[in-house]
Chain A
Amino acid sequence: MAADTPDRTLRLKLRVWRQRAGSPGAFEEHELAAVPVTASFLEMMDMLNEQLVRQGREAFAFDHDCREGICGMCSMTINGMPHGPIPGVTTCQLHMRNFRDGETITVEPWRARAFPVLKDLVVDRSGFDRVIQAGGFITVRTGSAPEANNTPVPKTVSDEAMDAAECIGCGACVASCKNGSAMLFVGAKVTHLSILPQGQPERERRALAMVKAMDEAGFGNCTNYGECQAHCPKSITLDVIARLNREYVRARVKEFFSTTGKPRKGGD
Chain B
Amino acid sequence: MNLDAKIPAGPLADKWANHKAKLRLVNPANRCKYHVIVVGSGLAGGAAAATLGELGYQVSCFCYQDSPRRAHSIAAQGGINAAKNYQNDGDSARRLFLDTIKGGDYRAREANVYRLAQLSTSIVDQCVAQGVPFAREYGGLLANRSFGGAQVSRTFYARGQTGQQLLLGAYSALSRQIGLGSVRMHPRHEMLDVVLVGGHAKGIITRDLVTGEVKAHSADAVVLCTGGYGNVFYLSTNAQGCNVTATWRAHRRGAGFANPCYTQIHPTCIPVHGEDQAKLTLMSESLRNDGRVWVPKVAADCGRPPADIPEERRDYFLERKYPSYGNLAPRDIASRAAKEACDEGRGVGPAVDGKRLGVYLDFSASIARLGEGVIRERYGNLFDMYENITGENAYRQPMRIFPAVHYTMGGLWVDYNLQSTIPGLFVGGEANFSDHGANRLGASALMQGLADGYFVLPTTVADYLAGVGLAGRPSSDGPEFRAALKDVNDRVARVLSINGNRTARSYHKELGRIVWDRCGMARDRAGLERAIADIRGLREDFWRNVRVTGGADGLAPELERAGRVADFLEFGELMCRDALEREESCGGHFRTEHQDAGEARRDDGRFAHVAVWEWQGAGAAQRRHEEPLRYEEVQFSTRSYK
Contact = CB atoms under 8 A, between A and B. Distances in A.
A72 B51 contact: no
A243 B76 CA distance: 29
Contact of B75 (A54, A68, A119): A68
Nearest to B450: A142
B542 to A, nearest CB: 14
B177 to A, nearest CB: 9
A47 B135 CA distance: 40
Contacts, number: 250
Given A142-B54, A148-B84, A61 B557 contact: yes
Interface residues of A, number: 89
Given A138-B129, A138-B131, A149-B142, A169 B67 contact: yes
Given A142-B50, A158-B136, A58 B67 contact: no
B274 A142 contact: no
A137 interface: yes
A161 B175 contact: no
B125 A147 contact: yes
Contacts of A65: 65, 70, 72, 239-241
B455 interface: yes
18 contacts: A35-B276, A36-B275, A46-B276, A56-B547, A61-B556, A66-B74, A67-B278, A72-B70, A88-B384, A93-B389, A126-B187, A138-B130, A153-B136, A154-B140, A169-B67, A169-B70, A196-B131, A198-B131
Interface stretch (A128-136, A176-184, A220-228): A128-136
A53 B503 contact: yes
A129 B140 contact: no
A253 interface: no
Nearest to A63: B66
Contacts of B68: 129
B555 A61 contact: yes
B128 interface: yes
Given A56-B547, A139-B176, A148-B129, 6 more contacts: A65-B240, A66-B72, A125-B66, A132-B172, A137-B176, A143-B126
B249 to A, nearest CB: 21
A16 to B, nearest CB: 14
B278 A43 contact: yes
Contacts of A165: 133, 158, 165, 168
Interface string B387-414: 0111111000000100000000000000
B278 A52 contact: no
A119 B555 contact: yes
Interface in A218-247: none
A107 interface: no
Contacts of A125: 66-67
A166 B381 CA distance: 11
A162 interface: yes
A89 B122 contact: no
A194 to B, nearest CB: 10
Given A69-B385, A70-B164, A133 B173 contact: no
Contacts of B173: 137, 140, 142
A251 interface: no
Contacts of B384: 88
B279 interface: yes
A65 B557 CA distance: 12
B464 interface: no
A133 B178 contact: yes
A134 B281 CA distance: 35
A148 B125 contact: yes
Closest A-B pairs by Cβ, 9 of them: A152-B140, A6-B274, A133-B179, A137-B172, A145-B129, A162-B133, A145-B125, A148-B128, A67-B279
Contacts of B86: 149
Interface in A56-106: 56-59, 61-73, 86, 88-89, 93-95, 97
A216 interface: no
A145 B173 CA distance: 13
A54 B503 contact: yes
Interface string A139-176: 11111111111011111001101100110110000000
Contacts of A145: 122, 125-126, 128-130
B130 A198 contact: yes
Interface string B107-126: 00000000000000010111
Interface residues of B, number: 91
Contact of A152 (B139, B171, B210, B390): B139
Nearest to B210: A118
Contact of A67 (B84, B139, B240, B274): B240
B66 A73 contact: yes
B569 interface: no
Contact of A95 (B125, B389, B558): B389
Contact of B66 (A3, A126, A162): A126
Contacts of B128: 145, 148, 151, 198
A70 B72 CA distance: 9
A228 B168 CA distance: 21
Contacts of A1: 391-393
A153 B140 contact: yes
Nearest to A54: B503
A21 B554 contact: yes
A173 B550 CA distance: 31
A36 B239 contact: no
Contacts of B241: 65
Contact of A119 (B163, B281, B554): B554
B245 interface: no
A119 B281 CA distance: 28
B124, B175, B185, B388 — most chain A CB neighbours (10 Å) = B388
A170 to B, nearest CB: 10
Contacts of A161: 131, 133
B83 to A, nearest CB: 12
A39 B277 contact: yes
B417 interface: no
Contacts of B458: 142
A50 interface: yes
A146 B66 CA distance: 33
A93 B388 contact: yes
Contacts of B125: 145-148
A217 interface: no
A198 B125 CA distance: 12
Contact of A132 (B50, B139, B171, B547): B171
B259 interface: no
Contact of A137 (B175, B240, B281, B388): B175
A71 to B, nearest CB: 4
A12 interface: no
A119 B161 CA distance: 31
Contacts of B84: 148-149
Nearest to A124: B66
A166 B558 CA distance: 32
Contacts of B29: none
A6 B276 CA distance: 9
B454 A142 contact: yes
A116 B30 CA distance: 40
Nearest to A86: B388
Contacts of B217: none
Interface in B81-109: 84, 86
Contact of B455 (A6, A142, A149, A169): A142
Contacts of A120: 555
B141 A162 contact: no
A258 interface: no
A158 B281 contact: no
A158 B156 CA distance: 14
B171 to A, nearest CB: 7
Contacts of A62: 557
